[in-house]
Amino acid sequence: MENVLLTLKNEKIVAVIRTTTAQKQLLGDVNLLLDLILTWQSVSYAKQKSFIYSRGHDNYGNY
């Protein structure tokens, strides 16, 4: 059993993947995890932007 630990700085994501000895499985798991992380990051970023936008601006988008 191999453990692959991925951490993102400045983000509270820690993901551990337990893989078999097959490299295909490892690559598939890592690609899936990276997709999930990128999706999470873009959703998080969109939420941050909309939060900032909703906090204070006039009707013309000036902050």
Q: Domains of the chain: which residue ranges?
A: 2-54
- Residue 35 and residue 43 in contact, taking contact as beta carbons nearer than 8 Å: no
Collapsing DSSP to helix, strand or coil, 2 comes out as: strand
Give the model's confidence band at 43: pLDDT under 50 very low, under 70 low, under 90 confident, else very high: confident
Report d(CA 18, CA 27) in Å as an integer: 12
Give the model's confidence band at 38: pLDDT under 50 very low, under 70 low, under 90 confident, else very high: confident
pLDDT(18) > 60: no
- Residue 41 and residue 11 in contact, taking contact as beta carbons nearer than 8 Å: yes
pLDDT greater at residue 27 or residue 5: 27
pLDDT(44) > 60: yes
- Residue 18 and residue 44 in contact, taking contact as beta carbons nearer than 8 Å: no
Report d(CA 8, CA 25) in Å as an integer: 22
Mean pLDDT for the chain overall: 63
